[in-house]
Structure formats: structure tokens, C-alpha cells
Structure 1
Amino acid sequence: MSISTYIDGLFSEWNNAQSPGMIVAVARGDEDLHRGAYGMADLAHAVPMDFRTVTRIASQSKQFTTLLTLMLEQDGLLSLDDDIRDHLDYLPDYGARVTVRHLANNTSGLRDILDMMIIGGTPITAPSSRDLARRTASRSAALNFAPGTELLYSNTNFLFLTEILEKVSGQRFETLLAERLTGPLGMDDTRLMVRDDAILPRLAVHHRRGPDGGWLRAAWGIAIGGEGGLVSSGDDMLRWLRHLARPTVCDPALIARMEAPSATIHGLPSPYGFGLMSAVCAGHRCIGHGGWISGSRSQSLRFPDQDIAISILSNHDDFSPVVLMEKIAAHVLGDRSTRAATRPAALSPGAYRQADGDEIFIIDDGDRQQSLTTGMGSAPLVESPEGRWVPHSSMPPFELSAGKDGTVVTEHFARQRVFRPAGAGAPQTLKDGAAYASATEGLSATLERNGDGWRLRLDSAGDASLLRLEHRDGTLFTAHPAETDPHDQWRFAPWVLPWLFTVRIEPDRLVINSDRTRNLVLDAR
């Protein structure tokens, strides 16, 4: 079966006048192997998607930001070893030296800005300024870990990189991007779109699923920059992928630095370089990045050993680009995935809590395979070559295997943690009106009885959230929006998440944890 026939069939469910669309590109060197556009760019006005339709690429923006950083370092305007507070004087004292390098390779320990907005009740979908984003990102003086010791994805890293680029160059980010990269490469469709209220040529309407399963317009209000604000087209992403393979507007050594491991975590090389991540897809070595924002998911990968490039763009977020990319790569390159000689034992379904911490996840039995659910969503579990289970996602948090006595053991950078079944012990007696606060985080919290359950009110600088608490294990709860209408829930996050974060409630303190925020402590008042 030809490549185009296979991909057309794979994307056929979206190729109709009632569905938002997808753009798929496959190339070998300078030869296009497939150029496909499916579904609609604008459902309301019946505008079909085409190869020059412009969509958000979300976190794929980070590779542009880091390349600009390396180019300005080569120009002598900054160093990766600079302390970020030397460039941004509004940042707090973190009690440790955070460098530009730590930002670019996601090892800074800085809390993620989107997490901080969700925790503080700042609506992500409501229009807001870049100054608000800056103030929110710099509000916390605490770090998730000592810089350089862990890999943890954080949009704050690239927000600050954007700010540093503007500071040292004396130019706006979009001007620098156009002068140094997109202009010379002829990428006329690729630019910064700060919010969804912008009007750009050939810009698709971005869509999300509504409560009834129908399509709605998606919204994104917080002003974003090089951390996730770029839009692009199928044509432009092919130009970009070809430039990464054969650089024409920068020193090729800079691309090599982006692709290479840029940190060592617990003795192992990090898969995240500078704005690009190394992985294996269908058994083949690949390098690239994905993106996810309200109303759009995407992924672009290069397979350097075969000089193959594949890009998936969309104007909706109701699919997994990782799963589709794996299928395309397997068809184009052949499936070379390997499995251990002995299949890993199935995991018992249910909720699990970290034996010595507050992390929680759920194992679900599906019709065909098990899945892992965390606060960030769900992903199917597939077998790893090492004989463990791994979430089928762009940046898996860990691998899993069955442990002793009904436990699950996770492994990440050669470190193992034990998770036991959750639900042990009744919740402690909570006090109605109990108050907590953290001066370093700019947060306060109050417990409120609500019938037979409990709610938590969180207040930050000018914003507030009301959350429903669901007991999980002992003193541990998960926090959910108190409102049941999805439109009200979307105030907190552009996606309806399994939970927003965990809350451990003790007599003298309250501790918040999420996938990208660790040990945020509010002391009892």
C-alpha cells in the first residue's frame, strides 16, 4: 500500500465537513512523500483545511526559542552559564543559581506557569497580558528541586528564555524570530500569536469537544511567547525540518547541540536536549517535539538515520499525535519495535499512591489494553523493550512493573519508587474554616464543609478558586473544580483533567503536588 493511501485511510475519520482538520507531511530529504490536509479549517464557514492553513504548534515553539538562544550565545550576547537573575531583575532569590542552560534543557526546577495559574485560580482561557504571565511565573521563590538534578518539563523555562532573548537583543521576540530564522528560511506562515484574539492570514479556527460531544470553538487567553505561542503551516514545518537536517541559516554545530543530551540525570543522559527531544518511534531513533494547547495538538519528528521527516498539525485536540505518528513511522520505515522475551505481568487496576510521597495515579483496564491516568490525563500502556509498561506519550513520566504484595514499581532515570494501592485509612477529622498560607508562594487557603464533603478555597494575588476535595488515601485528597459545568471548569484549565492536583492536609500544614509542582507548602495560620 502506498504511503498516501495508508495515511489517507488513517485520517479518514477526520476528513469530512463535520470535523475540524489535520495536516500531515512526510518527506525524505528534499522529496515530498506525502502532503495531506483533512477536514475543515473552519466548521462554521465550511472552509476546508489545506496545506497552507495556519494552526497553533504550541510547545513545538520551544525549538525555535532555544535555537535563537544558541545563536545569540554565539554572537556573544549571552552565555548558557549566565545566572538568569543577571538578565531578569524582577525574579526572586531562588536560594540556588538557576542558569540559562537550566531553562533550555528543562532542569531548572522552576514551577510551571500553567500549574501556578491553575493552583492560584487565574483563568487561563480569559484574555490577559504578558505582564500578568511574567508576574505569575515569577511569584514563586521555591524550586521543585535543585537546578540541574532532575528533568521536569516547565513552560516557565521558555517564558523566561523569551524574556532574556528580548532583553539581550533589544528586539521583540517576533522580530528576532523573523530576522534570524523564519524570514531567511521563507517560513512566511510561522509567527508568534500571543492570544486567540489575533487575526492572521489563513488562520484556522481551533476547536474542542463540548459536553455533548459536539465541537466548540477553543479559547486561549493567557499571553504566550516562545514557550508555546507560534503558529505555522504544513509547508513551513517541512521547511523547518529540512533546515534542522541541513542547516542553512545557522552554524550546523548549533543543531547538533540541540539534539545531543544536555544534562546527566542520576548518571543517565537526559533525552531532552535544547528544545528537542530524542526518542524511539516504531523502533527507530527520532528527534523532535510535540505540542498541546487548547484546540490544537501536534508533533514533528525527524528520523536522521533514514533522512525522513514527519509532521502532524491540527486545529483540534481530540486525538493523540504520538499514537498516529507511531503508525505512520511504522508504515513508512517498517516497525522495528522490540519487546522483552517475557511479557510484563499485567497491573492490577485501581488507584495507587506513592509509598513515601503524595504522587497518585490510576490503572484502568480497557477493552484492548490498560491505561495510566495522572493529573495530566490518560495514556495507553505499551510494552517497553526492558519488559516493563510505559505510557504511550511524548514524554513518559516513568515505566511501570508489578511489584510485591499488590504494589506497582515505577522507574525513571534508574530510580525506582513503590506505589501501593490507595484507600488505606479514613481521612482525618478536618476543621471547617481552617486557614493556611504561604508568603513565598503568594497563596492562602481555607477549608470549607460542603454537605458531607469538603471544599478548598485558594486565593492568590487578585484571583481565587473553589475546589471540591475527593478523598484518596489517609490525609491525601485530589482537587477538582467545584463547578460541574465544563464551561466553568475550563476557567481553571483549557482541558477537563482527571484532577487538578493533590492536597495533603495535616494539622499544621497543607501540601500541594501536581505533575509539574512539587511540595508547595502552606502553613496553618
Structure 2
Amino acid sequence: MLGMNVMVTAKIDSIFSRWQDGVCPGGQVLVRKDGEIIYDKCFGYASLEHKLPITGETVFHVASVSKQVTVMCVLLLHEDKLLDIDDDIRVYIADLVAFSEPVSIRNLMNNVSGVRDQWELLMLQGVRIDDTITQQDAKDVIASQAELNFPPLSRYMYSNANFTLLAEIVERVSGKSLNELARERIFAPLGMSQTCFKDRYWQMIPNRAESYKLVGSEYVHAVLNYGTYGATSLNTTATDFLKWMENLKNPVICNKETLSLLLACPTLLDGTISQYAGGIAVADPKMYKGRPFVGHDGSDAAFKSSTVRFTEEDIEIIIFSNTETVSLGSAVNQIADIVMGVEASQTVATEVPEFYRAEFDERDAAGLYFTRGEVSMIVEVTKQGDQLWMREGYGASPLSHLDGNRYRLSTLDADLFLGKSAGMRFGARFFELEKRENGSGNCEEWSGYTGKYESGEVRTRYEVLAEAGELFISHHRNGKHLMAQIAPDQFVASIGQNLFGITISFTRGDKGEVTGCLFSSSRLSNVAFTKV
């Protein structure tokens, strides 16, 4: 039974005002405090075409929230003594391993294996999110990797490939599909009657929501044709998933030792403790105002999900959405404040980034912006008449001017700070951007980079072109994109439809000639291409 006063309910309702604006996508929001459901509401539409409202029975693709369930399947087999999570994965899937270093099942569970991310690799090949992507596609690209991102346990790096490999181990050891084993050992015992892994892209899921992006003022289909699973493709409802979260406190489907393995964070080689456990994050201080928590977020196409349990306050929050017009991380924090009775004046003030400028000339706004460092991001802002636009995968969206050099991109619930002092804010996350100055390159130097580059590991070819004093990288499916230099022999560029790009580092031979390049991103390190 719901036990929350009208004023508090209204405050939570207001967080999701974007989902109450006519026929628009939205989501499910479920909050439990001290074991009692205190908020349970649905907003928006599961199908805009058919005007079908989202209800408690609507099923959502919850993306990376799937990972913890895949890990539990592994741990149940460990509990049955059918496998050991400290075994080298070659014991079970030797045919999918081309790298030389030993990697354990536990390394995969904790995202410390060094195995390269499958989506980044497929993106390099030119595979798009709306292509029909099968489990075999993912396994093939993983199996062709002769190198790791780093030695196992030397650092944490998020990789979806880890959980695709875990799903394969589950299936080979159990003799059942991941979905069959999960249904038998997890979903049925917990009463999760509307939950399954979608393991074929053509599979029908009753009551499933469609996914929608906002482009300008128009919603469009964000097509998702996944047939991959393990890292993703769990389909469920907020009510069903709350039963899973209860099992994380009071285990029914496993013993307490197995649950402790799921929630255990690894110690890295340097002695530090990673904060990513078995397919689930544990108390990352950068999130949720330093409150201890257990949970995970998910994002595929325009499906967004956030599942969090604040362990000290015993507050559980589940938000599943079929659009990205509300920042779920910010929404979770706001809900937690409301439930705990924290007044706005007592909350941590929204940080004003150093790159905010009150005085700003809009003529300096348009251009190409990029990040330096591990996270490569490319933002292209154009101006048509008096309107600024930002390029996205599904087209350009208008920017609304707020104040100074701060603009709002409502389609992604993000703020942009433009000009020479630039940055981007997604919820509580900030990315400092640098504006590229046109014609800043050395045309004579560019000629050494031009040519074709091939990689055996991703089985594709890119071409570097010099045109009109600019350097471009081109691919038969990913298109042609401007390269921005960030250091000697190092550039960033967009690849495919994403905001997040690739860092390209050129390599040279003994005589100083360019011999190849290395592609890196936040989930890839040094994928080698040879100049041909």
C-alpha cells in the first residue's frame, strides 16, 4: 500500500513533467522505503502510433541492468559446483579467446578483465545500433581480439563483452539457454512472470514498450534490433524487478555466500578496491551525492533504466523509460531527497562549472567541440539564421539559450556551455570541451597521415583524407568526419552515430614515416590499424 502524503507525491510527480505533456513517451517509477511501496506511477505512452499508455504491465528493455542477472546465473552454477569463478575462461570457451593472458570468470564479472567492449568494436566495423545484431556477431568480434585493453586486474574498464562471454559460459555449462536457466532458477521462483531475456531480434515480447528519441520537436523511433544478450536484453517491469531487488537483501534463490559473491568488489593489483561488483555498482562516490548504494543504470537506443538501493536509508528506486528526455540519475537523487525530507536549501548546490561565462557573444557559439583525455566526445554546433543546432545520430536538434554561454539540449536533458570556455553537463556529470579553431592544422604535415589503414582484429578499413586544408577520416558505413588534433600525431573524431568518438594515435617507423594508427575510446585501448 502506498504510504506517502499528497505534497510529497506531487513533488515526485513534478520531476517527470516532461512525461505528462500530451502523447509522449515516458516510463514507470517505483519507490520503496523500509519495505513499503510509497510511490508507484506510470507516465506517458508505450506506443505513440497506437496511443497505448504505459501501465504497470508494460515491459521495458532495461539494457545494462541485465548484467547482474547474468552474473547470478553464473553464480548459481558456481553454487552447484558446475564451474568455478576463479577458473580461466579458456576452460569453457577456449575457441573465443585469441589473447594470451589468463582471464578468470570473476574478472569478467567485475569488469577488470581487459577484454575489449563489443559495441565499440562493432561500431568500428560500421555496425549501427539499428542493425540486426545477433549474439554470434558479438562473439565473432570478441573472438578476433588478439590483445586486451590492459592486463587483468590492473584496472577497471567497463566492457559489455565480459557479459556476452559470461552468457556463453552459462549456456555451455548448463546445456540451456541463458533465458531458460534464468527463468527456471530466478524468474519463476521470484514470481517475475513478465521478465525474460530477449535472445533473438525477431522475438515478440507481449506488452513491450517502443523506444523514442526527440529530434527537434518531433519524436522518432529509436530502433533496437538486438539479438545479443547477457550484457543487455533483459525485458521486465518495475514491479517484477522489485522482486529481484528484494532478493539482493533477503536471498531466496541462492545462499548468502552466493549473494556475497555477487556484491563483492575486487582488489586491483595496485591494492585499490574497484567499486564494480558482479554486474552491479557498489557505492561509487561520484554518484548520488556520496550516499552508499547498490545499483546499475542502462541505456540502449532511447531506452533508459536506473535501479538503485540506498543501503543506509533502505530506499529502493526503480525507473524504466522509453525515452531520454529526463535524466534518470538526477531524478533518482531528487526522489531520494524528497523521501528523506531533505529541503532544497539543504541539498548539495548545483555546481557552476568553471567554463560558464555570464558574458558571451553568440557569434562564437557554432563550431566543432571535443574533449581531451580518456573520454572522447565530439559535439558539432551549427547556426541556421538565428537558431543554434546540435548534431545527433537521428538529425540535428535545436538549442535553447538559458543564460550566458549556457544552452539547453532538451532532447537529451543536457546543458551545453559554448564558446572558447566550453563544456557539457549530463545530470551531475561534466565534460570539459575545447572548441576547434578552423584551419588550425599544418597542411604539409597532413600529407604524411593520408592513406588507407586496415585492422585484422576488427576486419575493416579506414581512409585518412586531406581536403581543403582539413584532415578527415572516412569509412564505407560510418561516413566521413573531421579530425581534431589534440597532440602531436594524435586526433579525435566522430565514428558512427554517437556523441562519443575515437582517439586516433598515429605510429611511426624508424625513419619517421607514418606506419599505422591506434584507435582508443573509453572502452577500447590501442586497437591497431596498419597503413597499407
TM over 0.5: same fold? yes
Residues 24 and 48 in structure 2, CA contact (< 8 A), matched pair in contact too: yes
Correspondence 1:501 to 2:502: yes
TM-score where L is the length of structure 2: 0.79
- RMSD over aligned Cα atoms: 3.5
Q: Secondary structure at the match of 2:525?
A: coil
Residues 3 and 33 in structure 1, CA contact (< 8 A), matched pair in contact too: no
Give CA-to-partner distance per residue, 1:331-386, whole Å, 9 cap, x none: 112448669xxx998258975534xx896789x9x957999xxxxx99779xxxxx
Residues 304 and 322 in structure 2, CA contact (< 8 A), matched pair in contact too: yes
Question: Superposition pairs for residues 121-160 of structure 1, below 5 Å?
Answer: 121-160=126-165
Residues 98 and 145 in structure 2, CA contact (< 8 A), matched pair in contact too: no
Correspondence 1:470 to 2:470: no
The letter of the residue matching 1:184 is: P
Question: Superposition pairs for residues 326-337 of structure 1, below 5 Å?
Answer: 326-335=333-342
CA shift for structure 1 position 5 = 1.9
Distance in 2 of aligned mates of 1:273 and 1:230: 19
Question: Which residue matches 2:510?
Answer: none
Name which of structure 1's ranges 343-352 and 17-26 shifts more when overlaid on structure 2.
343-352
**CA 1:12–1:318 in 2, change beyond 3 Å: closer, same or farther?**
closer
Residues 259 and 278 in structure 1, CA contact (< 8 A), matched pair in contact too: yes
**CA 1:85–1:380 in 2, change beyond 3 Å: closer, same or farther?**
farther
Q: Secondary structure at the match of 1:313?
A: strand
Correspondence 1:220 to 2:221: no
Question: Which residue matches 1:245?
Answer: 249
Distance in 1 of aligned mates of 2:405 and 2:266: 33
Question: Which residue matches 2:530?
Answer: 523
Correspondence 1:62 to 2:67: yes
Q: Secondary structure at the match of 2:9?
A: helix
Residues 120 and 523 in structure 2, CA contact (< 8 A), matched pair in contact too: yes
Give CA-to-partner distance per residue, 1:287-340, whole Å, 9 cap, x none: 11111001210101112222221100011233321011111111112448669x
CA shift for structure 1 position 251 = 1.0
Question: Which residue matches 1:174?
Answer: 179
Residues 245 and 304 in structure 1, CA contact (< 8 A), matched pair in contact too: no
Name which of structure 1's ranges 444-453 and 186-195 shifts more when overlaid on structure 2.
444-453
Distance in 1 of aligned mates of 2:229 and 2:457: 26
The letter of the residue matching 1:524 is: K
Give CA-to-partner distance per residue, 1:61-96, whole Å, 9 cap, x none: 001011111111111111111111221132233121
CA shift for structure 1 position 123 = 2.7
Name which of structure 1's ranges 217-226 and 17-26 shifts more when overlaid on structure 2.
217-226
Q: Secondary structure at the match of 2:307?
A: strand
Question: Which residue matches 2:451?
Answer: 434
Give CA-to-partner distance per residue, 1:426-453, whole Å, 9 cap, x none: 4622258622233344343332345554
Distance in 2 of aligned mates of 1:105 and 1:180: 22
The letter of the residue matching 1:504 is: S
Distance in 2 of aligned mates of 1:472 and 1:257: 44
Can you give the 5+ residue segments of structure 1 that lack an aligned partner in the other structure? 372-376, 382-388, 401-407, 409-418, 482-491
Name which of structure 1's ranges 34-43 and 450-459 shifts more when overlaid on structure 2.
450-459
The letter of the residue matching 1:63 is: Q
Question: Superposition pairs for residues 202-281 of structure 1, below 5 Å?
Answer: 202-210=207-215, 212-264=216-268, 266-279=270-283, 281=288
TM-score where L is the length of structure 1: 0.80
Q: Secondary structure at the match of 2:504?
A: strand
Aligned length: 472
**CA 1:10–1:170 in 2, change beyond 3 Å: closer, same or farther?**
same
**CA 1:368–1:106 in 2, change beyond 3 Å: closer, same or farther?**
farther
Question: Which residue matches 2:105?
Answer: 100
Distance in 1 of aligned mates of 2:376 and 2:27: 35
Q: Secondary structure at the match of 2:120?
A: helix
Question: Which residue matches 1:87?
Answer: 92
Residues 17 and 43 in structure 1, CA contact (< 8 A), matched pair in contact too: no
Question: Which residue matches 2:393?
Answer: none
Give CA-to-partner distance per residue, 1:485-522, whole Å, 9 cap, x none: xxxxxxx4xxx433431223451221211111111221
Residues 25 and 35 in structure 1, CA contact (< 8 A), matched pair in contact too: yes
Distance in 1 of aligned mates of 2:319 and 2:353: 34
Residues 59 and 227 in structure 1, CA contact (< 8 A), matched pair in contact too: yes
CA shift for structure 1 position 49 = 0.8
Correspondence 1:353 to 2:375: no
Residues 478 and 499 in structure 1, CA contact (< 8 A), matched pair in contact too: no
Distance in 2 of aligned mates of 1:41 and 1:337: 34
